[in-house]
Amino acid sequence: MVEPPQYPEEHRNERKLLTLFALACAVLIALGIAVPLLTDAGTAPAPVLLGDVSNATIVEIRDHRGRVALSGEFRTRVDAIGNVEKDAALVEPRGTRVIGEIEVEIPAADREHRRPELEVDVMGLAPREAFTVVIDDRVVGAFTTDDRGSVDMEIQEGEVQPRSRGI
């Protein structure tokens, strides 16, 4: 009868370490999959609530730590049918202009079937990061940038924010 090969002690130790390493990797991978699923499970996306932004002057894009990434001052105009349109070009805190703007459209009083609308169109932010839209120091929405650091979203007040890239 042939006996199984006997490996030196150092080979057995290497095999044990390799087995422990593989087990640790498997646990980390399982946690990496489970944690995002568990943390999102009980949270429903919030609807956008612009409130009265007719006198709004400042808009900010804040990162997940609450720091201002971009900001701008609204300019206001009234279109031919009475809608109030506010838009702001965005700049970094250092004054560098970024490609993008925030727009808010407030329907004329006689257009009851229309709701206020928020548009965010920005390029040049950090990729795959969460940001909030803050108007006059009040959070009105949130979004996550794509893999190029961009977002192009349009949403009406009361609509639920899409989970993946929503405002």
Break the chain down into helix, strand, coil percent, rounded to 5. Answer: 20, 35, 45
For residue 102, what is the enclosing H or E element? Answer: strand 97-106
Radius of gyration of the chain (CA): 25
> Mean pLDDT for the chain?
80
E strand or H helix that includes residue 10: helix 9-41
Give me the residue spans of the domains in the chain. Answer: 1-43, 58-156
Closest CA to 151 of 130, 120, 129, 128: 120
Q: Structure pTM?
A: 0.66
pLDDT tens-digit readout, 102-113: 998 988 888 777
Let me know how many helices (H) and strands (E) the chain has, helices first: 1, 9
Residue, of 123 and 34, whose pLDDT is higher: 123
- pLDDT tens digits for range 38-68: 555 445 556 667 777 888 899 999 999 999 9
- Amino acid found at 27: V
Per DSSP, the residues of 11-80 read HHHHHHHHHHHHHHHHHHHHHHHHHHHHHHHT-PPPBP-----TT--EEEEEETTS-EEEEEE-EEEE-T
